A = this chain, B = another copy of it.
Amino acid sequence: MKREQLTEKILDIKRENGWTWKYICSEIGGMSEVLVVGALLGQMKLVKPLAKKAAELFGLSEVEERMLNEVPMRGTPMPPTDPLIYRFFELVMVNGPAWKALIEEEFGDGIMSAIDFNMDMVREPNPKGDRVQITMSGKFLPYKYYGNEQGIPDYGFKEA
């Protein structure tokens, strides 16, 4: 059994029952909707109690329940061909260099973690047309300058 087959089965059951993701997530609960949907689509792991609830909801076998608890081989084809997903790709392509400049100036050399990371997506009512509002927060991870255990700090000449 492959994870894609389980995903296809889950989508078939969702369709047959006419369930929404909102309903499914409220039944499984316990984590952000993005993560629960991500797991059902084969990109995330469900911890055991949630895998159990998902299995009950979808009528999955014990082996399928265990597969939902496994870490999948993550990733989807890039560049995205779907317009909705492409817009996020484009944001990275166009704004990436500015994000890099500003984050490094504020935090120093490092990255925003995509692992110790959370995210919320809400509808923002707006008379000109509602908006999708996304809030993300990732831990800043400084590059480790190993061999520098004595901790030479990063100063020495002045900035305006």
Contacts and interface: CB of A to CB of B under 8 A. Distances in A.
Contacts of A47: 145, 148, 152-154, 156
A115 B141 contact: yes
B76 A94 contact: yes
Chain A, interface size category, equals 35 or more
A85 B74 CA distance: 10
A107 B45 CA distance: 14
B82 A100 contact: yes
B140 A130 contact: yes
B15 A66 contact: yes
Given A31-B146, A132-B140, A94 B75 contact: yes
B93 A76 contact: yes
A139 B119 CA distance: 18
A111 B92 contact: no
A43 B143 contact: no
B131 A18 contact: no
Nearest to A106: B123
A95 B74 CA distance: 10
Contacts of A145: 31-32, 35, 47
Given A80-B96, A88-B99, 19 more contacts: A15-B70, A17-B160, A18-B66, A19-B160, A21-B102, A47-B154, A52-B156, A69-B154, A73-B97, A76-B94, A84-B103, A84-B112, A89-B92, A106-B123, A112-B131, A113-B141, A116-B144, A131-B137, A135-B136
